[in-house]
Amino acid sequence: MDFADLPADFDQSIYELDSSHRALPPNLAGSAIFVQGHNRSDDLFMYLKRQVDGLEPLASYAMEATIDLATNVPLATFGIGGSPGESVYVKAGASTVEPRAELDDLNYLRMNIDKANQSQSGTQMRVIGNVAHPDVIDDEYRIKELASGPEFLSVSADGEGRAWLIVGTDSGFEGLTRLYYDRIAFTLTLSDTP
């Protein structure tokens, strides 16, 4: 788990960044990857990544993704800068190079891949949904499934048959977001070979 779109010298006491593997909230069974961040930069990106191998070297793959996350944000709520639900965009993607936050000329940590910003999709990450759930009551967490559908994005494997997969939230809500990633599934389908 990592974070981007914030100053390199950010103040942890106000950004409240946290991530760990922990039990789901009491009304849900099992454990998940917990992520938290307070969007003080008006564009906080919180992401997970993983490298996969065993692909055909240099071949192109069509990618689809399914993400189950636990959220406690109901629909149609209001917050600073945007909605705590509809303005926290979930993105999924893939890249030949390792996705990581790098320092820019303004001393900000920015992604080295094209994820675009907030509601916009980039060439290596696309919006798959948001964190608002229609059945949330009070502060109770509910599982929300987001599915991209087939051929959501394409990625090429590197010369050793590897690629990086990434999911994350790109927030326009200038408050505290807490989420649990319960399940993340990617399907890569060989589309052609060089």
58 close to 157: Cβ distance less than 8 angstroms: yes
Measured torsion, CA atoms of residues 132, 37, 67, 192, in degrees rounded to the nearest 10: 120
Q: Between 118 and 155, name the one with better pLDDT.
A: 155
pLDDT confidence band for 151 (50 / 70 / 90): confident
- Interval 64-93 mean pLDDT: 89
Owner of token pair 């692909």: 55
Q: pTM of the prediction? A: 0.93
**pLDDT, position 38:** 96
Write out pLDDT tens, residues 21-61: 999 999 999 999 999 999 998 889 999 999 999 999 999 99
Task: Assign residue 107 a region (left: φ > 0; alpha: ψ between -120 and 50; beta: otherwise).
Answer: left
Residue 192's pLDDT band, with cuts at 50, 70 and 90, is low
Q: What are the extents of the domains in the chain?
A: 2-192
2-192 domain in CATH 3.30.160?
A: no
pLDDT at 168: 97
Pairing of β 132-133 and β 73-74: parallel
